[in-house]
Amino acid sequence: MIDFRYHLVSLIAVFLAVALGIVIGTTQLNGPVLSNLQTQVKALQTDKRTLETNTRTLQSEIDSSDSFDQAVGPALVHGSLTGSRVLLVVADDGVPQQSIDGITSLVGKAGGTVTGAIRLQPAYSDPATAASLQSYVTGPGLPPVSLPQVSDTGKLVGSLLAQVLLLPGKTGRATPSAGDVSSVLAGLSALKVLQQDTPSVTPADYAVVLTTGVQTGADVDARVTALTDLVTALDGAGSGTVVAGDQASTAGTGLVGAIRAVPALSAAVSTVDNAGSPAGWISAVLALGPEAKGTSGKYGTGPDTQPVPPVAATP
């Protein structure tokens, strides 16, 4: 009979054979496998160094381009806004202060003046605030404005703001007074839908609306509509409006993207999609003048855009 010791010896022999096979196999394969892995690691290290070098080169080129744009910007915009007044509307808190300062400076170099800046709060486009805004806009104590005969809160508020913040141009309506401006801004500030970013705000010929990114949340469509209603009102009330944002804002729920998606609105309002750079600041300022003549465009780096608006010769 086969006893237990026979089974034990057989099992030990099997395990020894397996162990010996593993040792022999790894001994034979270790060399080629290790060599292959080392080759791959060296290749990855080389690729990494190449990418780092390319990144530094590209960043250097971007910095050089920005420096060049900053240097030539004043010359390019010189005289394009002589005597004109420009209002800045900051549509969200993501807009860099550098962009606000850059456009403000170039407006001055172009011969114009920034008459003030207001900043919209998230509540401005929030449907939850529609009732309180509707009550304010349709209530007593407003300046003598002519609001559209609609019940849409975004259109009503946009029209009110546009009529007190922009000069009438060729529209034939009354010129807003300083009291009209301060009254409306105080009322809307009390509702926490906007704030005044500069010590004073006076009526302007043009508006530049600065934005970044996209609208989000369950009410995203309503929020986008409220902002486009404001842009439409600003453009119709004054000499023209430019909306300047970043690449992210060209998406469907971004303000630049929403304007470009509607042919009629895109034909009326100029848009810039690289407003985080000096080139974008130049485009935003240069686009204002043609707006007064009914000429709008899409400027920046995105598809179907021009790098910058045409530069008119100035004396």
Does some domain include residue 269?
Answer: yes
Q: Specify whether 212 is located in the same domain as 286.
A: yes
Q: Which residues pair with residue 196 across a beta bridge?
A: 118
Q: Specify whether 70 is located in the same domain as 185.
A: no
Question: How far from chain centre, in Å, is Cα 120?
Answer: 14
Q: What is the pLDDT of residue 60?
A: 54
Q: Specify whether 137 is located in the same domain as 225.
A: yes
Q: What is the pLDDT of residue 35?
A: 73
Does some domain include residue 304?
Answer: no
Final residue of a structural domain among 75, 95, 124: 75
Does some domain include residue 234?
Answer: yes
Final residue of a structural domain among 75, 101, 131: 75
Does some domain include residue 315?
Answer: no
Q: What angle do CA 301, 307, 313 make, to 5 degrees?
A: 165
Q: Specify whether 34 is located in the same domain as 125.
A: no
Mean pLDDT (10-residue bins), the chain, 315 residues? 60 69 59 70 75 65 53 86 97 95 96 97 95 92 89 95 90 85 95 96 97 92 96 95 97 96 96 94 95 93 87 55
Q: Tokens for 233?
A: 């009102």
Give CA–CA dist 118/89, Å, rounded: 5
Q: Specify whether 43 is located in the same domain as 137.
A: no
* CB-CB neighbours of 79 under 10 Å: 14
| 3-class state of residue 90 by DSSP | strand
Does some domain include residue 308?
Answer: no
Q: Specify whether 71 is located in the same domain as 82.
A: no
Final residue of a structural domain among 23, 57, 75: 75
3-state SS of 18-81 is: HHHHHHHHHHHHHHHHHHHHHHHHHHHHHHHHHHHHHHHHHHHHHHHHHHHHHHHHHHHHCCCC
Specify whether the CB–CB gap between 87 and 119 falls below 8 A: no
- Residues whose CB falls within 8 Å of the CB of residue 304, separated by 6 or more in sequence, listed in order: 298
Q: What is the pLDDT of residue 56?
A: 66
Specify whether the CB–CB gap between 66 and 278 falls below 8 A: yes
Does some domain include residue 68?
Answer: yes
Give CA–CA dist 128/285, Å, rounded: 35
Q: Specify whether 26 is located in the same domain as 109.
A: no
Q: Specify whether 107 is located in the same domain as 224.
A: yes
**Closest C-alpha to 181, from 189, 173, 170:** 189
Give CA–CA dist 259/308, Å, rounded: 18
Q: What is the pLDDT of residue 310?
A: 79
Q: Specify whether 82 is located in the same domain as 203.
A: yes
Q: What is the pLDDT of residue 272?
A: 97
Q: Specify whether 129 is located in the same domain as 54.
A: no
Q: What is the pLDDT of residue 64?
A: 47
**Closest C-alpha to 175, from 199, 151, 145, 196:** 145
Work out how many domains the chain is built from and give that number: 2
- Residues whose CB falls within 8 Å of the CB of residue 215, separated by 6 or more in sequence, listed in order: 125, 223, 224, 227, 253, 254, 255
Q: What is the pLDDT of residue 61?
A: 46
Give CA–CA dist 46/304, Å, rounded: 37
Burial class for 90, CB neighbours closer than 10 Å (0-12, 13-18, 19+): buried
Does some domain include residue 307?
Answer: no
Task: Look up the domain containing 49 and give its range.
Answer: 1-75
Q: Specify whether 173 is located in the same domain as 292.
A: yes
Does some domain include residue 305?
Answer: no
Q: Tokens for 72?
A: 């030539």
Q: Specify whether 91 is located in the same domain as 67.
A: no
Q: What is the pLDDT of residue 131?
A: 94
